Copies of this chain bind each other. A is one copy, B any other.
Amino acid sequence: MVVLVFAHPYPDRSRANRRLLDAVKKLDDVEVRSLYDLYPGFDIDVAAEQAALEKASTIVWQHPTYWYTVPGLMKHWFDKVLLRGWAYGEGGTALRGKRCLWVPTTGGDDVAYTESGMHGRAFESYIPVVEQTAVFCGLRWETPLIVQGVHDLSDEALDAAANNYRARLEALIAADGSSS
């Protein structure tokens, strides 16, 4: 199954993330954990999070990009949930071999993410922090689904991204089924 960890501080104000989430949340075998709904006071239930992840074959991290990486609560979730002896280090094998799909959206488009653009670098330059977090825990890093320039995306382009997202998750669910 897929455990989809979703972090949007203001889901009601979200257009892109909501539409992406709507495209996948009703799939069989997808459990959505909306961190800002579950933990508005940042009091993460570590045992519950770990138990959810243990059931997963694929873990998804979906969020808007804030300051070039995950929002604060998702970073806090990394700090609190991905513990030594569970996620890494001696005896830390809980996540090993599971797949990880990263689904960040960005406001800026690919022109903004250039050396001369307002974000100074290609988005790829900001990937290592999240990718290595996954890899260090033994997760299998899938090609991220990066949805850029969401402020200016047409409804049609957003629907296409959402359909692509659903297809990616369906393929991962099918791969889980055939390997188990």
Q: Which residues of A contact B (CB under 8 A)?
A: 9, 41-42, 66-73, 75-80, 82, 118-121, 125-126, 128-129, 132-133, 135-136
Give the Cβ gap from A135 to chain B, nearest Cβ, in Å: 6
Taking a contact as CB atoms closer than 8 A, the residue among B73, B78, B126 that contacts A67 in the complex is B78
A69 B69 Cβ-Cβ under 8 A: yes
A121 B129 Cβ-Cβ under 8 A: no
Give the CA-CA distance A41 to B119 in the complex, in Å: 31
Contacts of A80 in B (CB 8 A): 72
Give the CA-CA distance A80 to B10 in the complex, in Å: 13
Contacts of A71 in B (CB 8 A): 75-76, 79
Contacts of A76 in B (CB 8 A): 42, 71-73, 75-76
Give the Cβ gap from A122 to chain B, nearest Cβ, in Å: 10
Contacts of A133 in B (CB 8 A): 67-68
Taking a contact as CB atoms closer than 8 A, the residue among B41, B121, B135 that contacts A120 in the complex is B135
Give the CA-CA distance A70 to B42 in the complex, in Å: 16
Question: Which residue of B is nearest A119, CB measured?
Answer: B132
Give the Cβ gap from A75 to chain B, nearest Cβ, in Å: 4
B120 A67 Cβ-Cβ under 8 A: no
With A42-B41, A42-B42, A79-B9 known as contacts, the answer to whether A129 contacts B69 (CB < 8 A) is yes
A132 B128 Cβ-Cβ under 8 A: no
